[in-house]
């Protein structure tokens, strides 16, 4: 057996190309030259890793605004910072820009089975249930009593049930309910609306004309003005920073009318039925009062698409009106602030009489108005149906039939919600 010499071994293991590659990558010690400068790397004493929470709020808001709506309830529980960002006006603004917020009509009711709400999406009512928090000591009986004489107002995805002695904040994302402070003055059948993230109430009080403001952030009520008229059974709406107190009865006259429904009592009963008071929230001033043309009684009203819409009744005739409420934009496209215009009436039976048996609720839903028949009509009016839903398109000026209201929500409170 031939034994390989050292030179043969070196040649076999280190051919010319392999040797060049190895020397290029791993130079020998005698080929290394000392560097002229020395670089010293100092390791920090405490290393802080970059986390999502350490990012600027605008960046966090940007990616949170892209989260699907179904994931928002769980996202809000990650940390207090994210919870605050999710409920900020900037977050809502970004969601609107990405067309991730939808206008819908909501119905809220309480039964022996629980506290329920339904939203109208894609011409279908979707039912859900609110969860009462034991830490707030809210019982189902409490909710039922609050709803009896309450008005409902929405701010984004929150629905506030403003009752005589308490206020409830209902979260349509998490289905949770929070007990909030009550109004300063007890009211019944009053006007309520949201303006710039705050809630304003007026009317419905026999001893006060105070207009109250509720701040959801601080959970406080404050008196901001005195209304020029004492109304009962009025309706609230808001457009362009103005609170509209619409219709209703003159407090005092309605008490007299309970004793006598004829003569001067009837005239006093309808004293404010077709008028509305306008309160500029920012300027804290009252604007000139407006009256619906024709002298009808306002039975339902709401705000949508920069206008106030009112359904009026003349005993057996219903008419539908729009009031141009856009103060801060040009009159391009026709009309000007303060102008009334009669528009197409809802396709209801011709012989409909609005009284204690038949009532309507009007809800603003983005560029549409939802009209719900909320009172029973019995069998006297052919074609009438309890729970009937009609939808008016503010752009085309046409009515269409909506999905009938589920039976459980035909004695409910209604409001437009953005969620």
pLDDT in tens, 351-390: 555 554 678 999 999 999 999 987 654 444 445 567 889 9
Question: Which of the four pLDDT bands, split at 50, 70 and 90, describes residue 258?
Answer: very low
Cα(402)–Cα(103) distance, rounded to whole angstroms?
15
pLDDT at 256 over 50: no
Average pLDDT of 82-89? 81
Cα(250)–Cα(267) distance, rounded to whole angstroms?
10
Cα(104)–Cα(102) distance, rounded to whole angstroms?
6
Residue 51: predicted pLDDT: 67
Question: Which of the four pLDDT bands, split at 50, 70 and 90, describes residue 257?
Answer: very low
Contact 224, 269 (CB under 8 A): no
Which residues lie below 8 Å from residue 83, measured CB to CB, with a gap of 6+?
76, 77
pTM of this structure: 0.79
Angle at 310 between CA 296 and CA 406, to 5 degrees: 115
Give 339 or 301, the one with higher predicted confidence: 301
What are the CA-CA distances from residue 225 to residues 23, 189, 200, 239, 285 (Å)? Answer: 89, 19, 10, 18, 8
pLDDT at 44 over 50: yes
Give 112 or 346, the one with higher predicted confidence: 346
Residue 320: predicted pLDDT: 94
Q: 26-40, 99-113, 219-233: which has the minimum mean pLDDT?
A: 26-40
Give 255 or 115, the one with higher predicted confidence: 115
Query: For the chain, what is the mean pLDDT?
Result: 79
Residue 215: predicted pLDDT: 96
Average pLDDT of 333-362? 74
Give 41 or 348, the one with higher predicted confidence: 348
Residue 48: predicted pLDDT: 60
Residue 54: predicted pLDDT: 75
Only one residue has tokens 């249930």, namely 129
pLDDT in tens, 235-251: 999 999 999 999 998 87
Only one residue has tokens 């989260």, namely 67
pLDDT at 143 over 50: yes
Which residues lie below 8 Å from residue 91, measured CB to CB, with a gap of 6+?
61, 64, 65, 85
pLDDT at 290 over 90: no
What are the CA-CA distances from residue 124 to residues 161, 209, 405 (Å)? Answer: 24, 40, 9
Highest-scoring range by mean pLDDT, 15-24, 47-56, 68-77, 154-163: 154-163
Number of separate helices (H) and strands (E) present in the chain: 9, 26
Only one residue has tokens 């107002």, namely 153
Give 414 or 258, the one with higher predicted confidence: 414
Residue 333: predicted pLDDT: 46
Cα(154)–Cα(63) distance, rounded to whole angstroms?
25
Question: Which of the four pLDDT bands, split at 50, 70 and 90, describes residue 11?
Answer: very low
Residue 169: predicted pLDDT: 92
């Amino acid at each position: 057996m031939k034994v390989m010499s050292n030179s043969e071994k070196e040649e076999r293991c280190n051919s010319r190309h392999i040797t060049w590659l190895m020397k290029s990558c791993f130079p020998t010690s005698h080929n290394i030259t000392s560097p002229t400068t020395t670089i010293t790397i100092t390791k920090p004493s405490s290393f802080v890793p970059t986390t999502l929470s350490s990012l600027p709020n605008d960046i966090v808001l940007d990616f949170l605004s892209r989260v699907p709506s179904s994931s928002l309830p769980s996202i809000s529980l990650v940390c207090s910072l994210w919870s605050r960002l999710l409920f900020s006006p900037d977050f809502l603004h970004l969601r609107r820009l990405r067309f991730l917020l939808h206008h819908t009509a909501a119905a809220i009711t309480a039964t022996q089975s629980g506290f329920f709400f339904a939203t109208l999406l894609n011409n279908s009512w979707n039912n859900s249930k609110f969860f009462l928090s034991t830490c707030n000591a809210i019982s189902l009986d409490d909710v039922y009593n609050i709803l009896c004489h309450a008005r409902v107002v929405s701010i984004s995805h929150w629905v506030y049930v403003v009752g005589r002695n308490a206020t409830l904040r209902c979260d349509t994302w998490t289905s949770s309910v929070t007990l909030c402070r009550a109004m300063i003055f007890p009211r019944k059948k009053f006007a309520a609306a949201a303006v710039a993230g705050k809630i304003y109430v007026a009317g419905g009080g026999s001893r006060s004309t105070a207009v109250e403001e509720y701040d959801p952030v601080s959970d406080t009520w404050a008196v901001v003005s005195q209304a020029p008229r004492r109304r009962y059974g009025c309706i609230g709406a808001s457009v362009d920073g103005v609170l509209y107190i619409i219709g209703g009865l003159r407090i005092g006259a309605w008490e007299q009318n309970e004793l006598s429904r004829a003569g001067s009592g009837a005239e006093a009963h309808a004293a404010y039925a077709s008028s509305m008071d306008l309160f500029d929230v920012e300027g804290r001033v009252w604007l000139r009062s407006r009256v619906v043309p024709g002298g009808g009684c306002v039975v339902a009203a709401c705000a949508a698409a920069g206008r106030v819409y009112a359904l009026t009744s003349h005993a057996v005739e219903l008419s539908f009106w729009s009031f141009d409420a856009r103060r801060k934009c040009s009159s391009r496209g026709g009309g000007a602030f303060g102008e009334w215009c009669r528009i197409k009436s809802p396709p209801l039976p011709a012989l409909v009489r609005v009284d204690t048996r038949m009532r309507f609720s009007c809800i603003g839903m983005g560029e549409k108005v939802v009209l719900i028949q909320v009172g029973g009509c019995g069998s006297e009016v052919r074609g009438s149906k309890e729970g009937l839903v009609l939808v008016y398109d503010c752009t085309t000026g046409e009515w269409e039939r909506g999905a009938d209201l589920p039976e459980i929500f035909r004695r409910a409170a209604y409001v437009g919600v953005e969620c």
